[in-house]
Amino acid sequence: MKRIGKYIASVLLVSLLTIGLAACGKAENNSQSGENSDDTIISRKVDVKYTSRDLAGTWREENATKVKLSGDSYTIKEAGVYVFSGTLKDGQIIVEAGDTDKVQIVLNGVDIKCADGPAILIENADKTLITLAEGSENTVADGKTCASAEDQPWGTIFSKDNLTINGSGKLVVKGNFRHGIVSKDDLKVTGGEIEVTAVKDGLRGKDSVRIYGGRITISAQGNGIKSNNEKDENKGFISIDGGEIDIKDVSSQGMEAYQVAQMTGGTLNIDSSNEGIQAKNIYIKDGTLNINAADDCLNAADSQSTGSEEKQDGVNLEIVGGILNLSTTAGDGLDSNGDLTVSGGTTILQGSSGGVEVNLDYNGEGTISGGTVIGVGNTQMAQNFGENSTQGAILYGGSSYSAGTTVTLTDADGKELASMKAEKSFSCVLVSAPGMIKGETYKLKIGDDTTEVQLSSIVVSEGISGQMGGGGRGPGGDRNGTPAEMPEGGPQGRPH
């Protein structure tokens, strides 16, 4: 399904340099206030940087101010390390430091509730780090109202400046008013076990959300993760660079970025009653991505372009690596209002069994040059990769098959090139895998039925009516628009 949001950026291509991480807990920190050259940078057009202090999750015990919370709120006025324990039944930790101050808040067993505002409120600082002490369990919650008259994207943890969450302890965040964790600049998560529930969005970073490590569980009635800077093309992005993230029960997008959503590592699971990931540019380099969505799994679109059926300039959905398991009940698997390019990785598509939603849906050019893509869906508006592809692709349809049917493609020598098991009924198969070349013949086995398909061109479509562009324009069939002849009852049953 074509949806257009507010997404304005160019695609991120990345290279990952890693450094060794210090063990989390009470340990020496190299700097109380500054960052140093031991940074991890994931960059191309937009730098995704994690400083050594972002990653360390440590602090100097002798330099820390220890605070036992009991009755009153606590306000931090200057740079330093503050270690908190105890309970606030109706209070806050507030940061009102200088513009150049770096503040580290260590949570070492706290339970903070605030009836009418954020439990942790960062009004001013250059940067704040919230470190989850090793072995600690911490809970923060806001109420269902907010006393402030400011129009802000309020969260249970709310920062007007840069915010990093690290360490190895546990943090439970209950967003009862709006969002869970919010930064109006950059939000980074590099460690910890974090559970977020929110009546709106789980994690929000206006300029960016960057996740390098940790175990994060999000349940939200809005978006799971969102970055919404629409004015600066170098901001408004989400970068998943590591960690284990489970976004479930979201009513809107699993992830929404106004510019770029990229994944370079880690594991990301999304269960959404709307779309999985939505951004102007979506880039998957590495990691494991599992999406179960009611609408599109991956949707690249630009709100600044008019007409959802026309190509939108600067929009791209690119897969260069990783493992993608994408399942939709009433949407498209891979949807781009611009170009779609696949050069690596393994992508398994469990498409919609009916309607006009398909495995591939692109308005510009769709090409594949590497990697494996295999998917099942319906034939009504099925789309293949385009003729500028350099790796062979087959779009095949005609008969209906039930859930649980196995689909396998082999070459002439019987070598398996790709295989999947369908989760729902289907009438169409899309497959492309390394080794598929023009002129060769392949065997496509669908359940007990086997048919031979010759790649007379780099992309071939057979038995498809009402096809959209790509490898077979016009009313269906092969790439020249000629309907393919199908034997009665669907594919011929041939011995494997």
Handedness of CA 246, 226, 220, 222 (dihedral sign): negative
Identify whether 257 is part of a domain.
no
What is the extent of the structural domain holding 455?
A: 367-496
Which residues on adjacent β-strands are paired with residue 153?
A: none
Q: Which amino acid is at 132?
A: L
Identify whether 410 is part of a domain.
yes
Residue 490: left if φ>0, alpha if ψ -120 to 50, beta else—which one? left
Identify whether 424 is part of a domain.
yes
Q: What are the backbone angles phi and psi of residue 266, rounded to the nearest 5°?
A: 85, -170
Percent helix, strand and coil across the chain, each rounded to 5?
A: 0, 45, 50
Identify whether 267 is part of a domain.
no
Question: To 5 degrees, how large is the angle CA 62–CA 161–CA 79?
Answer: 25
Q: Which amino acid is at 249?
A: D
pLDDT in tens, the chain (496 residues): 443 333 333 333 333 333 333 333 444 433 343 455 467 776 454 678 999 999 999 999 998 999 999 989 999 999 999 999 999 999 999 999 999 999 999 999 999 999 999 999 999 999 999 999 999 999 999 999 888 867 788 999 999 999 999 999 999 999 999 999 999 999 999 999 999 999 999 999 999 999 999 999 999 999 999 999 988 888 999 999 999 999 998 999 999 999 999 999 999 999 998 999 999 999 999 999 999 999 999 999 986 666 556 889 999 999 999 999 999 998 999 999 999 999 999 999 998 776 656 789 999 999 999 999 999 998 877 899 999 999 999 999 978 999 999 999 999 999 999 999 999 999 999 999 999 999 999 999 999 999 999 999 999 999 876 444 444 332 233 322 333 333 333 333 322 2
The pair of structure tokens assigned to 170 is 């546990």
Identify whether 151 is part of a domain.
no
- Burial of 193 per CB tally in 10 Å (0-12, 13-18, 19+): middle
Rounded distance between C-alpha atoms, residue 49 and residue 237, angstroms:
13
Identify whether 457 is part of a domain.
yes
CATH of residue 438's domain is: 2.60.40.10
Identify whether 262 is part of a domain.
no
The pair of structure tokens assigned to 135 is 């072995």
Identify whether 254 is part of a domain.
no
CA 178 → CA 92, 199, 274, distances in Å? 17, 5, 19
Residues 6+ apart with CB under 8 A from 56: 21, 22, 24, 27, 29, 30, 166
Q: How many domains does the chain have?
A: 1
